[in-house]
A and B are shown apart, each in its own frame.
Chain A
């Protein structure tokens, strides 16, 4: 059956590509695609031409060459003879480190500030408002250089901890030292030695597993850590079984047995025993000569970046949390109370699930912003991905195209991973409609 508006078949004219709505969308799309391909082709041909004029070639061989520069804060072993690829890996790990720690701290501070902004206490609410406005309205780069300046200018030098009557003293029972070179904190270690360096009885170190041999991806995992972690995970699994059993009993009899002490015990006891067996102890930082030795040295650059990024992002998180709480109308609480639910369960069963649905998506996009902003590390000399791959490696090898493109690609992958996680979460909490 044909309708009157449809033209008779077999009489295709080129002008129908434009005027016939059946073909027009295809025409526009093909024109757009051709235009896009032409643009790409134009850019590529310009690039090829320019690179040829400069006598450069495109290739990723430089990644295997020795980097020749040091990275002062790193998570894995690295020295200047290692390849550019490994230097980039150190940078990536540093980016991820500051991003993860920043997200954790931003969430904690942001939730506290957001809740306190709604406080009945006028003064507290005002202080929190000042905090939020102060951090939101000043560029994050300024906060980063500002916190670096605060650390350098206000904290004592390591030498202040020296002598009979030191000008500064270590915090938390002599475990933590805050200096203008960074923070020295205790470091978790396994396998204690006696004075002569012999392992104490059978509590000796188990050693490390070396992964990936000598390749740029190589890393060591301590066997003790594996043992402790697997004990912990096993404990959590057993605790899950106990919870399921409690659920079953509750379903059958209507009474829920008390299990929290059992569950705490199966998680904590085996882990503590495993830690003791592996000879776990904290390596304290000690002043030797002009500087501290032992312990973990968190450098100024890392602390400044971490604090500035998390406090800045926390201001945005606080607004999101406040908005999320305000979005749940008071009727929800009243309705739940009318159903006879207890106040604590109203929070966990009624308010939080709804508030989280409002809070989580913008929260994740703040995490994304924090991760992207961590690239400002270059301003304080923290060696993240921007500082290594797009910084020193680029300057030393002169491979602008490859280095910048790779850096962008890696950031893009991180962002896509985060937004992918967000989509999965969104789908799982989406209102189940008919």
Chain B
């Protein structure tokens, strides 16, 4: 019998992996020091980070929240014995409300706050459709009319009457459908609310207000400012431009040549010029284009131009959504015998808009950032306010703290929105497969 004594008969016990391959050390070796080149890069980056932090952190870490002026800040910093100066947060303690709300009256600030909170509830069923019950959509509908009322104030009758416009249109449609047919009824149903809004809402509202004076104190738009203004311009422009954008996108996809070229011309024109030129149109030309005697205030004019601007971009986003729908959806709608509008309303748009939401959010982020441009035509958005704060004798010469604060607020809101958009994109991709 052969001698197999050299063959091991029992299994060796499992050994721990080498310390250098697991845990923190393993991770460091794999991700930071995986070769001489990577090691040099890592060391250089560490030095870079250290330099930046060493320059910024001592500056940031300065307890100057109570200072009432720049010179007071400098005294505090000198007392602390800081070599290279420090941040002066007194300006933020004193002015943060102005940076957030502009000159909106102190005692009425609950209104923009309420509007802002309401925005999240109203957007809930659209943005987080799994969490919010669909019934909240009713609130979204009401919010469209309540939000402007909360912001600008005035008689409660105005938003109610404005909301009654579409209802009147619907009634007109039902009433006329049997009399003059579908198309005529649709045209009348569109015209009735517009005429009602233009000519009847004002008189009826003031009439009702004189009988039952229910309402909020009026706040003029020139008092709007700060972040509130940026958010408000952005939200209004995106909300209205959603409607315009869908119409333009459908127009651009349409088989009707004239409609198509009108839409293409509008979209390409708006996308081809910088927003600042459109804002100059708002500040210098828009009143010239309107009938003599019309006088919109500047914020309203800016909102109009921002809406036109956003609608061109939304149109392109929606067009992307329409193009991304499989051809079979269109054919299936045709096969069911649906006409153009029914197919759009029931089959195409619900799906196309759903896949466009990330793009719409990105457009909103872009527009929100672009609202800072209104400071160039003299509106008091956060950047516009820095001018007036720095003109104050107490804060003359302050730079970094103000810009830093504004940048931080913009960063937080835009970063959160872009993360949401990425999350949604991922979710839609998962739903799809």
Residues of A within 8 A of B (CB): 18, 25, 28-30, 32-33, 36, 43, 46-47, 49-51, 53, 119-124, 127, 133-134, 136-142, 145-146, 149, 153, 372-373, 375-376, 378-379, 386, 390, 394, 400-401, 404, 407-408, 411-412, 415-416, 419
The answer to whether B414 touches A123, judged by C-beta atoms less than 8 angstroms apart, is no
Cross-interface CB contact of A124 among B45, B268, B273, B284, cutoff 8 Å: B45
Chain A residues whose CB sits within 8 angstroms of the CB of B289 once the complex forms: 43, 46-47, 50
Binds A, one of B118-126, B326-334, B399-407: B399-407
The answer to whether A18 touches B183, judged by C-beta atoms less than 8 angstroms apart, is yes
Binds A, one of B136-144, B170-178, B254-262: B254-262
Kindly report which residue of chain B lies nearest to residue A30, judged by CB atoms.
Answer: B258
Interface check B296, CB cutoff 8 A: no
The answer to whether A53 touches B259, judged by C-beta atoms less than 8 angstroms apart, is no
The answer to whether B45 touches A127, judged by C-beta atoms less than 8 angstroms apart, is yes
Chain B residues whose CB sits within 8 angstroms of the CB of A373 once the complex forms: 274
Please measure, in the bound complex, the distance between the C-alpha atom of A138 and the C-alpha atom of B418, giving whole angstroms: 12
CB distance from B57 to the nearest CB of A (A): 16
Cross-interface CB contact of A416 among B38, B272, B290, B400, cutoff 8 Å: B272
Kindly report which residue of chain B lies nearest to residue A28, judged by CB atoms.
Answer: B256
The answer to whether B45 touches A50, judged by C-beta atoms less than 8 angstroms apart, is no
Please measure, in the bound complex, the distance between the C-alpha atom of A53 and the C-alpha atom of B376, giving whole angstroms: 28
CB distance from B342 to the nearest CB of A (A): 15
Chain B residues whose CB sits within 8 angstroms of the CB of A415 once the complex forms: 271-273
Offer 5 A-B interface pairs, CB within 8 angstroms, sorted by A: A136-B414, A138-B369, A140-B369, A376-B376, A400-B285
Known contacts A379-B375, A400-B284; can you find 18 more A-B pairs with CB under 8 A?
Answer: A29-B256, A32-B259, A46-B290, A50-B287, A51-B288, A121-B38, A121-B42, A127-B49, A137-B418, A138-B407, A138-B414, A142-B410, A149-B403, A153-B399, A373-B274, A378-B276, A378-B376, A386-B274
Known: A124-B45, A127-B49, A136-B418. A404 touches B258 (CB 8 A): no
Please measure, in the bound complex, the distance between the C-alpha atom of A146 and the C-alpha atom of B292, giving whole angstroms: 42
Interface check B411, CB cutoff 8 A: yes
Known: A404-B280, A415-B272. A120 touches B373 (CB 8 A): no
Chain A residues whose CB sits within 8 angstroms of the CB of B372 once the complex forms: 139, 141-142
Chain B residues whose CB sits within 8 angstroms of the CB of A120 once the complex forms: 31, 34, 38
CB distance from B84 to the nearest CB of A (A): 12
Please measure, in the bound complex, the distance between the C-alpha atom of A145 and the C-alpha atom of B46, giving whole angstroms: 29
Chain B residues whose CB sits within 8 angstroms of the CB of A419 once the complex forms: 272
Chain B residues whose CB sits within 8 angstroms of the CB of A394 once the complex forms: 284
Please measure, in the bound complex, the distance between the C-alpha atom of A36 and the C-alpha atom of B46, giving whole angstroms: 62
Chain B residues whose CB sits within 8 angstroms of the CB of A375 once the complex forms: 274, 276-277
The answer to whether A29 touches B410, judged by C-beta atoms less than 8 angstroms apart, is no
The answer to whether B383 touches A145, judged by C-beta atoms less than 8 angstroms apart, is yes
Chain B residues whose CB sits within 8 angstroms of the CB of A133 once the complex forms: 411, 415
Kindly report which residue of chain B lies nearest to residue A312, judged by CB atoms.
Answer: B369
The answer to whether B273 touches A412, judged by C-beta atoms less than 8 angstroms apart, is yes
The answer to whether B375 touches A141, judged by C-beta atoms less than 8 angstroms apart, is yes
The answer to whether B399 touches A149, judged by C-beta atoms less than 8 angstroms apart, is yes
Known: A49-B292, A145-B403, A404-B277. A134 touches B411 (CB 8 A): yes
CB distance from A415 to the nearest CB of B (A): 4
Known: A122-B32, A142-B410, A386-B276. A404 touches B281 (CB 8 A): yes
Kindly report which residue of chain B lies nearest to residue A137, judged by CB atoms.
Answer: B414
The answer to whether A401 touches B285, judged by C-beta atoms less than 8 angstroms apart, is yes
Kindly report which residue of chain A lies nearest to residue B409, judged by CB atoms.
Answer: A138
Please measure, in the bound complex, the distance between the C-alpha atom of A400 and the C-alpha atom of B287, giving whole angstroms: 12
Known: A25-B256, A124-B45, A411-B272. A379 touches B262 (CB 8 A): no
Q: Mark B408-427, 1 if CB is under 8 A from A, else 0.
A: 00110011001000000000
CB distance from A113 to the nearest CB of B (A): 13
The answer to whether A408 touches B410, judged by C-beta atoms less than 8 angstroms apart, is no
Please measure, in the bound complex, the distance between the C-alpha atom of A292 and the C-alpha atom of B394, giving whole angstroms: 35
Kindly report which residue of chain A lies nearest to residue B263, judged by CB atoms.
Answer: A32
Interface check B269, CB cutoff 8 A: yes
The answer to whether B288 touches A149, judged by C-beta atoms less than 8 angstroms apart, is no
Kindly report which residue of chain A lies nearest to residue B277, judged by CB atoms.
Answer: A408
CB distance from A376 to the nearest CB of B (A): 7
Please measure, in the bound complex, the distance between the C-alpha atom of A407 and the C-alpha atom of B151, giving whole angstroms: 35
Cross-interface CB contact of A50 among B49, B262, B292, B415, cutoff 8 Å: B292
The answer to whether B258 touches A29, judged by C-beta atoms less than 8 angstroms apart, is yes
Kindly report which residue of chain A lies nearest to residue B38, judged by CB atoms.
Answer: A121
Chain B residues whose CB sits within 8 angstroms of the CB of A411 once the complex forms: 272-274, 277
Kindly report which residue of chain A lies nearest to residue B230, judged by CB atoms.
Answer: A139
Known: A18-B183, A142-B406, A145-B383. A46 touches B277 (CB 8 A): no
The answer to whether A123 touches B277, judged by C-beta atoms less than 8 angstroms apart, is no
CB distance from A283 to the nearest CB of B (A): 34
The answer to whether B406 touches A46, judged by C-beta atoms less than 8 angstroms apart, is no
Please measure, in the bound complex, the distance between the C-alpha atom of A409 and the C-alpha atom of B376, giving whole angstroms: 21
Counting from the closest, the 10 A-B pairs by CB-CB distance are A415-B272, A122-B31, A137-B414, A139-B369, A372-B274, A375-B274, A400-B284, A29-B258, A412-B272, A139-B372
Chain A residues whose CB sits within 8 angstroms of the CB of B292 once the complex forms: 46, 49-50, 53
Known: A141-B383, A378-B276, A400-B284. A32 touches B262 (CB 8 A): yes
Chain B residues whose CB sits within 8 angstroms of the CB of A51 once the complex forms: 288
CB distance from B29 to the nearest CB of A (A): 11
The answer to whether A386 touches B259, judged by C-beta atoms less than 8 angstroms apart, is no
Interface check B370, CB cutoff 8 A: yes
Please measure, in the bound complex, the distance between the C-alpha atom of A313 and the C-alpha atom of B41, giving whole angstroms: 25
The answer to whether B31 touches A121, judged by C-beta atoms less than 8 angstroms apart, is yes
CB distance from B386 to the nearest CB of A (A): 8
The answer to whether A404 touches B414, judged by C-beta atoms less than 8 angstroms apart, is no
Chain B residues whose CB sits within 8 angstroms of the CB of A379 once the complex forms: 375-376
CB distance from A150 to the nearest CB of B (A): 9
CB distance from A84 to the nearest CB of B (A): 17
Please measure, in the bound complex, the distance between the C-alpha atom of A264 and the C-alpha atom of B245, giving whole angstroms: 54
Please measure, in the bound complex, the distance between the C-alpha atom of A71 and the C-alpha atom of B34, giving whole angstroms: 54
The answer to whether A139 touches B410, judged by C-beta atoms less than 8 angstroms apart, is yes
Interface check B203, CB cutoff 8 A: no
Kindly report which residue of chain B lies nearest to residue A53, judged by CB atoms.
Answer: B292
Kindly report which residue of chain A lies nearest to residue B369, judged by CB atoms.
Answer: A139
CB distance from B174 to the nearest CB of A (A): 20
Please measure, in the bound complex, the distance between the C-alpha atom of A153 and the C-alpha atom of B399, giving whole angstroms: 9
Cross-interface CB contact of B410 among A25, A137, A378, A400, cutoff 8 Å: A137
